[in-house]
Amino acid sequence: MMREYNPITLICCVLLFLVPVDNLSAEASSSTVENYQSARIELVRAYGAGDYESMRSAARRALQFRPGYPNALFNLALAQVLDNDAAASMQTLLDLASVEVDFGVAEIEEFTPLKDLLEWGDYQARISRLFDPVGVTEVAARLEVPDFVPEGIAVSASGVLFLGSITKGVLVRLDDEPQTLSTPDNGHWSVFGMRFDNSGGLWFASAAVPQFGLETDDAGRSGLFRLSPSDGEISHSALLPAAEDAQLLGDLVIADDDTLYATDSISGALYRYRVQQRRFEIVVKSGVFGSPQGLALDTSGDYLYVADYTGGLYRVATSNGAVQKVRIRTNVTDYGIDGLYRHGDQLIAIQNGIRPHRVIALTLGDDGSSITAATTLAANLEEFDEPTLGAVLGDDFYFVANSHWNRFDRENRLPDGLSGPIVLRLPLN
**Same structural domain, 190 and 293:** yes
**Same structural domain, 222 and 107:** no
Q: Which of 13-27, 129-143, 220-234 has the weakest average pLDDT?
A: 13-27
pLDDT of residue 84: 96
Last residue of a domain, one of 114, 130, 146: 130
pLDDT at 132 over 90: yes
**Same structural domain, 394 and 252:** yes
**Same structural domain, 170 and 122:** no
Mean pLDDT value of segment 333-341: 95
pLDDT at 34 over 50: yes
pLDDT of residue 27: 54
For residue 36, give the H/E element and its range: helix 26-49
Using CA atoms, how far residue 53 sits from 61, 80, 81, in Å, is 13, 8, 11
Distance CA 318, CA 272 (A): 9
Query: Could you tell me which residue, 172 or 67, shows the higher pLDDT?
Result: 172
Mean pLDDT value of segment 339-348: 97
**Same structural domain, 258 and 208:** yes
Cα angle, residue 55 at apex, residues 49 and 59 outer, rounded to 5°? 150
Distance CA 422, CA 59 (A): 39
Last residue of a domain, one of 130, 154, 185: 130
pLDDT of residue 124: 95
Distance CA 234, CA 181 (A): 10
3-state SS, residue 211 = coil
Q: Does residue 203 fall inside a structural domain?
A: yes
pLDDT at 311 over 70: yes
**Total residues belonging to the chain:** 429
**Same structural domain, 219 and 240:** yes
Considering 16-30, 50-64, 66-80, 388-402, the range whose residues carry the highest mean pLDDT is 388-402
Query: In 10 A of CB 84, how many CB atoms?
Result: 11
Is the Cβ–Cβ distance between 360 and 376 less than 8 Å?
A: yes
Query: At 10, is the pLDDT very low, low, confident or very high (cuts 50, 70, 90)?
Result: very low
134 DSSP 8-state letter: B
Query: At 9, is the pLDDT very low, low, confident or very high (cuts 50, 70, 90)?
Result: very low
**Same structural domain, 124 and 146:** no
Number of folded domains that form the chain: 2
pLDDT at 397 over 70: yes
Q: pLDDT tens for residues 61-114? A: 887 777 667 888 888 999 999 999 999 999 999 989 988 999 999 999 999 999
pLDDT at 21 over 50: no
pLDDT of residue 68: 66
Tally of CA atoms within 13 A in the half-sphere of 375 that contains its CB: 10
Distance CA 75, CA 59 (A): 7
Using CA atoms, how far residue 17 sits from 20, 28, 29, 114, 272, in Å, is 9, 21, 19, 22, 33
319 DSSP 8-state letter: T
Mean pLDDT value of segment 28-45: 79
**Same structural domain, 94 and 184:** no
Q: pLDDT tens for residues 258-297? A: 999 999 999 999 999 999 999 999 999 998 998 999 999 9
Is the Cβ–Cβ distance between 349 and 358 less than 8 Å?
A: no
The number of helix segments (H) and strand segments (E) in the chain equals 5, 26
Q: Does residue 18 fall inside a structural domain?
A: no
Mean pLDDT value of segment 402-407: 96
Model pTM? 0.90
pLDDT of residue 8: 39
pLDDT of residue 15: 28
**Same structural domain, 237 and 331:** yes
Q: Which of 20-29, 180-189, 293-302, 342-351 has the weakest average pLDDT?
A: 20-29
Pairing, β 358-364 against β 370-379:
antiparallel
pLDDT at 5 over 80: no
Distance CA 424, CA 429 (A): 15
Burial of 268 (0-12, 13-18, 19+ CB in 10 A): buried
Query: In 10 A of CB 115, how many CB atoms?
Result: 14
**Same structural domain, 143 and 288:** yes
* CATH assignment of the domain containing 155: 2.120.10.30
Distance CA 282, CA 117 (A): 52
Query: At 12, is the pLDDT very low, low, confident or very high (cuts 50, 70, 90)?
Result: very low
Containing structural domain, residue 419:
138-427
pLDDT at 4 over 50: no
- With b for 16 or more beta-carbon neighbours within 10 A and e for fewer, the 326-342 pattern comes to bbbebebbbbbbbbbbb
pLDDT at 385 over 70: yes
Last residue of a domain, one of 130, 159, 183: 130
pLDDT of residue 13: 32
- Percent of the chain at pLDDT > 90 equals 81
Query: At 214, is the pLDDT very low, low, confident or very high (cuts 50, 70, 90)?
Result: very high
Distance CA 423, CA 139 (A): 6
pLDDT of residue 1: 54
**Same structural domain, 105 and 228:** no
Cα angle, residue 252 at apex, residues 251 and 258 outer, rounded to 5°? 170
Pairing, β 327-328 against β 370-379:
parallel
Tally of CA atoms within 13 A in the half-sphere of 97 that contains its CB: 22
* CATH assignment of the domain containing 97: 1.25.40
Beta strands of 275-345 (E only): which ranges? Answer: 279-284, 292-297, 303-308, 312-317, 323-325, 327-328, 337-343
Q: Which of 22-26, 34-38, 250-254, 283-287 has the weakest average pLDDT?
A: 22-26
Pairing, β 150-155 against β 161-165:
antiparallel
